[in-house]
Amino acid sequence: MMVQDNVLNNAKPWAPYFQLALLALAVTIMTYFRQSLGPLQEDLRLSLLLSDNQIALIQGLMVSIPVALVSIPLGFITDRVSRSRLIVMLMALGLLAIVISAFAQSFLGLGAARIPLGIASSGVLIAAYSLVGDLVPLHQRGRAATFVAIGEKCGGPLAFALGGAVLVTYDPATAPQIGAAQLQGWSWALLWMAGLALPFLLPLLLLREQPRHHQTSSGGNLSIHVAMRMLWNYRRVVVPIQLGRATLSIADGAVIVWGAPFFARKFHLPPDQIGAIMGSILLISGILGLLFGGPLVDFYMRRGGPRLVLTCMAAIALFSIPCAFFALLPSVTIVAFVMCLFLVAGFTIATCALGLNLIVIPSELRGLNLGITIVIGAVFFTGLAPLTISLMSGALGGEHMIGTALALVCGTASVLNAAIFLFGIPKFPRANETLGEAYA
């Protein structure tokens, strides 16, 4: 049964913006939790005598596998329970996972603690964006989703800044004990990071459930079988968006994972310079992608409806095709600039796709669809993108061919991305059509 207790009184004009701020806070803290091991992982590796492969598993597959497995069930649950309560419970689970991680003394123990963190992070994202869709009108959902998504971009840098600052204050002489063993620096820092986040969790108790708008005649009382079948009825709009996100994930994931090795192998840059270049590119492109994507959705919704939004996404995808060959350019400066343009285009499309999902999918199917989106990201971004580049460079002649592999994979993915959106345009409703008329 759809929960509607504690429904927000929208007679207060500021109330939706306060709720959006709380959702942005929840996403920021959960991203902070998920990235909390990043600044500590070298100290962690040395303390627990772990290999690079084990660190990669802890930071990657041990989070992404549970995300892939539970996101669709979590999406289904989100469509049926109070999303505000679900967010609070998942935030508590994320905090507990961080504390358990701090006391882990082995690879398997730390990996086990990462599993509930992956589940919590996936559920918070699904529930938060589902709530966004019921907080504001159709023509404001792009900017509202952008506001919440900024939390995803801020949580990681916040974790690195605080984690690094706390770690350097560790004093072995005053560190507490775990049984007969002394609490290591990374464990001590992780506990402090959890403690610093705790006061910011309390305002989330003010989150309120929203009435679910744009529902079908079912009213939300759907079994998983019926919900999947109904979502399939929306395949004319679901498939282009999800396939577009899949191809986009391969290209963006390839750049993010292999960008640093590419600069090292082609231009022989030192690690600190590579870090500065990649950090600047990711920060600038991430923020610009969010700032462009949300307003574009709202602008074109007012002037042409969902069909014009997808047309805009196709145009951006076409623009990204020549930028996809950044790895073939001759100088560091030009490569960095064009790579940044390529990622700006990708992040803008991703933001537009998120906003469009909140518009064209009914409320009782929105969580399920967002769960599928997260699974696609976990499979294509985390799983296939890195492997595609390594296999391609190996087939072309070895590690020195990584630039050519990046160009081929990113170029092909961009062409497919543009084609998918272009072929999908006629399937989307115009401004003068209701969603029901378009899907009929």
The alpha carbons of the chain give a radius of gyration, in whole angstroms, of 22
Can you read off the two tokens belonging to residue 214? 């744009």
Q: What is the pLDDT of residues 125-163, one digit of tens each?
A: 888 888 887 787 767 777 777 788 787 777 777 777 777
pLDDT of 91 above 90: yes
Euclidean distance between the first and final Cα of the chain, in Å?
26
Where is average pLDDT lowest: 43-47, 199-203, 305-309, 340-344?
Answer: 43-47
Q: How far apart are CA 363 and CA 133, in angstroms?
A: 8
For residues 416 and 54, the model is more confident at 416
Q: Dihedral of the CA atoms 155, 170, 94, 64 (nearest 10)?
A: 70
pLDDT of 342 above 80: yes
Q: What is the pLDDT of residues 235-253, one digit of tens each?
A: 888 889 888 888 888 888 7
Helix locations, 328-401, DSSP H: 332-360, 363-376, 385-396
| CATH H superfamily, domain 15-213 | MFS general substrate transporter like domains (1.20.1250.20)
Residue spans per domain, the chain: 15-213, 228-439
pLDDT for residue 62: 75
In the block, which residue shows the tokens 């064209």? 360
Domain boundaries 228-439, corresponding CATH code: 1.20.1250.20
Instruction: Output the pTM of the full model.
Output: 0.68
Q: Are 34 and 193 in contact (CB under 8 A)?
A: no
Non-local CB neighbours of 414 within 8 Å, separated by 6+ positions: 247, 251, 317, 320, 321, 323, 324
Q: How far apart are CA 132 and CA 20, in angstroms?
A: 7
Q: Quick one: which H or E segment has residue 177?
A: strand 177-178
For residues 179 and 403, the model is more confident at 403
pLDDT for residue 434: 52
pLDDT of 55 above 60: yes
pLDDT for residue 429: 83
* DSSP, res 378: I
Q: What is the pLDDT of residues 6-47, one digit of tens each?
A: 444 444 666 778 888 899 899 999 988 887 876 676 677 777
Q: How far apart are CA 240 and CA 86, in angstroms?
A: 30
Q: Which residues pair with 182 in a beta bridge?
A: 177
For residue 64, give the amino acid letter: S
Q: How far apart are CA 436 and CA 64, in angstroms?
A: 36
Residue whose C-alpha is closest to residue 142's, from 358, 306, 286, 304? 358
pLDDT for residue 182: 62
**pLDDT-derived band at 2, boundaries 50, 70, 90:** very low
- Asked if 15-213 and 228-439 have one fold, the answer is yes
Q: How many CA atoms lie within 13 A of 201 on its CB side?
A: 22
Q: Which residues pair with 181 in a beta bridge?
A: 178
Q: Are 346 and 290 in contact (CB under 8 A)?
A: no
